[in-house]
Structure 1
Amino acid sequence: MSWTTERVDLLKKLWSEGLSASQIATELGGVTRNAVIGKVHRLGLSGRAKTATAPAKPRRTRPATSAPARPAASAAPRTIGATALKAEPTPVAAVATQPAPVAELVIPQEQRATILQLNERTCKWPIGDPSTDDFYFCGRNSDPGVPYCAHHCRIAYQPMNDRRRDKRARG
């Protein structure tokens, strides 16, 4: 199948009318949904009209009285390794239930690892900016079956209940 001028024009017309890539592929015939998506991207076609058959789902909103107040964010950014993170405001309701933050770990020079030194028994937690010379991996002994040491596992893995609670708190 080749993209003739007529087929490209039809693709543009159907795309602007809001048809899905699958619907366009069916209409054109002899072409897959992924081929349609690829052609749309190569042509640089932008957004399209919303279809009347699929109205947007209305968002659920909470009453203003149940939304937790948000304190102002701290002006100083937090850092993990050598990377600065912008502080996010934390809902007041979630402050008391969040686990205590894990203290930053200082890794001795002799335990730090390069990518070539990593194996199944070393912690693969990246520290710093990969584009700089002082970037390294933790390199401490990792727990069996996980890529990180116990310290970095506490940072990387959150219990499911904590993630659900945090998501609800962000609203």
Structure 2
Amino acid sequence: MNWTDERVEKLKKLWSEGLSASQIATQLGGVSRNAVIGKVHRLSLPGRAKAGGTATSARTQTKRTTSAPRAPNYASRVVTRTVTRASGANLIKEEIEVESGEVLEFAPASNVVVPISRRLSLTELTERTCKWPVGDPMAEDFHFCGCDSQDSSPYCKFHAKLAYQPVSERRRA
């Protein structure tokens, strides 16, 4: 399949209209989705805006962090409230559903013994050391636990209990 001038112009037009690479490939015929993506890249066509935001905001929302436990925990529930609003000279009462959030307080068990970490850097980790991250990765004092880990786990016994919780305990939290 050759990219003729007409096909390239049609590709540019369909791309600017916001069609996906699969949809463009179907309309052009005789070309795969990957070929369309490659041609768009070689032509340096601008990215398309996502529905509900810009391409940058969509990328930011999908970023994931791989850090230690998150805090605080939030519980949300839907509450029905009666609200009065003005409509011209009349007041109208209506029921609306509002999602309310509560901060759950974390109370650690008092009988837990926290192991003293060996404070290893990334380059000092081995197959037999705990790889639990401690602190902010961008801070100077960031380190890994470094205690001895079990044979099949990347974490020591203490951090394995934090990382691998039974389903019933996660649902309760």
TM-score, normalization by structure 1: 0.53
| Residue type of the alignment partner of 1:145 | S
Alignment gaps of 5+ in structure 1: 49-79, 92-99
Q: Which has the larger radius of gyration?
A: 2
User: CA offset at residue 133 of structure 1?
Assistant: 1.4
What's 1:13 paired with? 17
What's 2:94 paired with? none
Counterpart-to-counterpart distance in 1, 2:160 and 2:142: 20
What's 1:89 paired with? 75
User: CA offset at residue 112 of structure 1?
Assistant: 1.8
SS in 2 for 1:152: helix
2:50 pairs, out of 17, 39, 47, with 47
1:105 pairs, out of 114, 118, 121, with 114
| Residue type of the alignment partner of 1:8 | K
SS in 1 for 2:123: helix
Kept in 2, the 8 Å contact 1:25–1:36? The answer is: no
What's the % identity of the aligned pairs?
A: 36
What's 2:100 paired with? none
Counterpart-to-counterpart distance in 2, 1:105 and 1:162: 20
Counterpart-to-counterpart distance in 2, 1:47 and 1:35: 18
What's 2:125 paired with? 118
Higher share in strand: 2
Kept in 1, the 8 Å contact 2:11–2:24? The answer is: no
User: CA offset at residue 106 of structure 1?
Assistant: 5.3
Q: Does 1:32 align with 2:33?
A: yes
Counterpart-to-counterpart distance in 1, 2:39 and 2:159: 40
- Judged with a 3 Å threshold, the aligned counterparts in structure 2 of structure 1 residues 131 and 36 are, in CA distance, closer, same or farther, namely same
Kept in 2, the 8 Å contact 1:21–1:37? The answer is: no
Counterpart-to-counterpart distance in 2, 1:146 and 1:156: 10
Compare relative contact order (CA 8 Å, sep 6+) and give the higher one, 1 or 2. Answer: 1
What's 1:77 paired with? none
**Aligned residues, how many?**
121
SS in 2 for 1:85: coil
Q: Does 1:128 align with 2:135?
A: yes
Q: Does 1:143 align with 2:150?
A: yes
Q: Does 1:152 align with 2:159?
A: yes
- Judged with a 3 Å threshold, the aligned counterparts in structure 2 of structure 1 residues 147 and 42 are, in CA distance, closer, same or farther, namely farther
SS in 2 for 1:119: coil
TM-score, normalization by structure 2: 0.52
What's 1:63 paired with? none
User: CA offset at residue 125 of structure 1?
Assistant: 0.3
Alignment gaps of 5+ in structure 2: 52-66, 78-106
**Aligned alpha-carbon RMSD (Å):** 3.9
User: CA offset at residue 22 of structure 1?
Assistant: 2.2
Kept in 2, the 8 Å contact 1:123–1:137? The answer is: yes
